[in-house]
Structure 1
Amino acid sequence: MARGSGVPLRVVSYNIHGQRDDTAALAAVVRDAAPDVVIVQEGPRRFRWRRKSAALAESFGLVVAGGGLPALGNLLLTSLRVRVLATRCQRFPLTPGRHLRGAAYADCVVAGGARFTVAGSHLSTDPAERPAQAALLKRELDAAGAPVVAGADLNEGPDGPAWATVARGLTDAADAAGRADRLTYPCAAPRRRIDALFVDPRITVVDYDVVDTPLTRRASDHFPVLVDLLLPRPE
């Protein structure tokens, strides 16, 4: 695991399965992790989604930064260490008969003055759709002015074409920590690594974990990815 000087940032990327499991366990998992940023997939995206997003954030001890319905359930939450400067949402083109997918982005500054762009997405379960969605996500990541932290449920593993598109030019946090063998899905019988966190090469990966505990097995059908980072210090 690489170490160096920089501004610390703790990030969780988590597919919460539409809050269809044990919500008390879900809240405990995130609170125990004490993250600065949570990148949520399958967050609130329907009726009263704003209220539901705020309630979810409160249960985590965080605030809503961006996303939700406009990003089709991709939700960005932050602690009070993080100030959000701007947000934007993206919807991928709809294939008839399929679920809409999208992404959320937030330009942020963390205590200590380091700027970064956080992004979250959830790609299609259809392998024919994923490459084009990955290309649209990657275009936005490449256009970010600050170092990128991107969490996603890619619905495919590191040998897939969509994964390769998103990962190009970025650091796979699991690889950087020597823990690419840690599987993220499904909790009942883990057999795939489909949940990933990618970071700008200027960001140092200090630690990486796929949190597998009795609580996480009750909280969702995906394990959360927990990563400690060091952002470049402002010049």
Structure 2
Amino acid sequence: MRKVLVTLLLVCGVTTVAAAPAQASAARVLNVLSFNIHHAAGTDGVLDVARVADVIRRSGADVVGLQEVDRHYSARSEWADQAGELARLLGYQVVFGANIDREPPSPGQPRVQYGTAILSRYPIRAWDNTYLSRSPDQEQRGLLHAELDVRGKRVHFYDTHLAASSQTDRLAQTRQIVDLIGRTRPSVLVGDLNALPDAPEIATLASAFTDAWPVSGRGDEATYPAEAPDRRIDYVYAGAGARPLVTRVVHADPAASDHLPLAARVLVR
């Protein structure tokens, strides 16, 4: 691409010099959502994947990072592939990060999996899931990454769910996330981080990325617990080449999960 641009400059002269920066700075606005779906079990005790899909649909999200997603996991979610079901209901593409991955209960059945998922209305061109460090007594967590084609522009979207009961693990995990994402651009990170904004593990991420809420939050910031939220533990971060424009907590259906979704409009350049 650089060789082509140089050739055009040489052939077209001064006129192309003025046009090139405008092309290079072409930006996209992406509606992102972070949503811990609690394996689609609502606060009313009802298991309802369609209700989760409806919340996502009403949010207007282009790309969604989901946490606590079951995939043929157990009877609690009726052995369903929840990521695949949500993709079908919404007409989105999906990738799944199996942070728990076990042998099936009997030969020929699907593997027992639990983790995170990314849903996207835009094509997903590549993806990977990286296990994050953990103590032996802690559940395996990961960083799920999808490379999106947003109307011809590549955008890197990351989704994570940090350790629930170990700050030591969360500190190590956030350092690992910073190393993994680095200066990848443009990039957006979302997730349930199980930590309050003043926690040291959050400071690790804030030193590398822009926390969307302080610069663009509207309304109340609390996302948990869903029916009487009093704390923010769900986050959207803008990495290199991205800037949050507006961020809000989605109150469409507080009974759909034990977390409220967090939505943000992000400018990617």
Instruction: State the partner residue of 1:211.
Output: 250
Q: 2:194 aligns with which of 148, 152, 155?
A: 155
Residue 61 of structure 1 pairs with residue 91 of structure 2 = yes
Distance 1:96 1:201 in 2: 33
Task: Quickly say closer, same or farther: Cα 1:96–1:180, change in 2 above 3 A.
Answer: farther
Give the aligned partner of residue 56 of structure 2: 30
Say if 1:122 and 1:57 are closer, same or farther in 2 by CA, change over 3 A.
same
Change (3 A) 1:180 1:203: farther
Q: Secondary structure at the match of 1:40?
A: strand
Aligned-pair identity (%): 32
Provide the TM-score with structure 2 as the length reference: 0.75
Deviations 1:70-116 (A, max 9, x none): 5851111100xx222221111123422221111100122201x2221
> Which of 109, 118, 130 in structure 2 is aligned with 1:76?
118
After superposition, residues 60-209 of structure 1 pair within 5 angstroms as 60-64=90-94, 66-70=95-99, 73-79=115-121, 82-111=122-151, 113-125=152-164, 126-142=166-182, 144=184, 146-179=185-218, 181-200=220-239, 202-209=241-248
Q: Which is greater in Rg?
A: 2
- The verdict on how the C-alpha distance between 1:200 and 1:104 changes in structure 2, with shifts beyond 3 A counting, is same
Code of the residue aligned with 2:38 in structure 1: it is: H
Using the size of structure 1 for normalisation, the TM-score is: 0.85
Q: Which residue of 1 aligns with 2:106?
A: none
Kindly indicate whether residue 32 of structure 2 is the aligned counterpart of residue 11 of structure 1. Answer: yes
Call closer, same or farther: CA 1:44–1:195 in 2, change over 3 Å: same
Contact 2:49–2:82, Cα closer than 8 Å, also in 1: no
State the SS of the aligned residue for 1:218. coil
> Are the equivalent residues in 1 in contact too, given 2:134–2:169 (CA < 8 A)?
no
- What runs of 5+ residues in structure 1 fail to find an aligned partner? none
User: What is the Cα deviation at residue 5 of structure 1?
Assistant: 7.4
Structure with larger RCO (C-alpha < 8 A, sep 6+): 1
Whether the aligned pair in 2 keeps the contact of 1:124 and 1:154 (CA below 8 Å) is yes
Q: Distance in 2 between matches of 1:91 and 1:185?
A: 25
Paired with 2:227 and 2:59, the residues of 1 have a C-alpha distance of 21
C-alpha displacement at 1:180, in angstroms? Answer: 8.1
SS in 1 for 2:176: helix
- Two-structure CA RMSD over aligned residues (Å): 2.3
Partner of 2:107: none
Segments of 5+ residues of structure 2 without an aligned counterpart are: 1-24, 43-47, 101-113
Cα shift readout 1:150-171 (whole Å, capped 9, x = no counterpart): 0011101111111111222311
Aligned residue pairs: how many?
A: 222
SS where residue 219 of structure 1 aligns?
A: coil
CA distance in 2, matches of 1:187, 1:76: 21
For the residue of structure 2 that corresponds to 1:163, the secondary structure is helix
Q: Provide the secondary structure at the position in 2 that maps to 1:54.
A: helix
- In the alignment, the residues of structure 2 paired with residue 51 and residue 221 of structure 1 have an alpha-carbon distance, to the nearest angstrom, of 20
- 8 Å CA contact 1:114–1:231 kept in 2: the answer is no
CA distance in 2, matches of 1:222, 1:70: 20
Q: Deviations over 1:119-168 (max 9, x none)?
A: 00000122221100111111111153x21100011101111111111222
Counterpart secondary structure, 1:43: strand
1:197 and 1:225 in contact (8 A); partners too: yes
Residue identity opposite 1:139 in structure 2: D
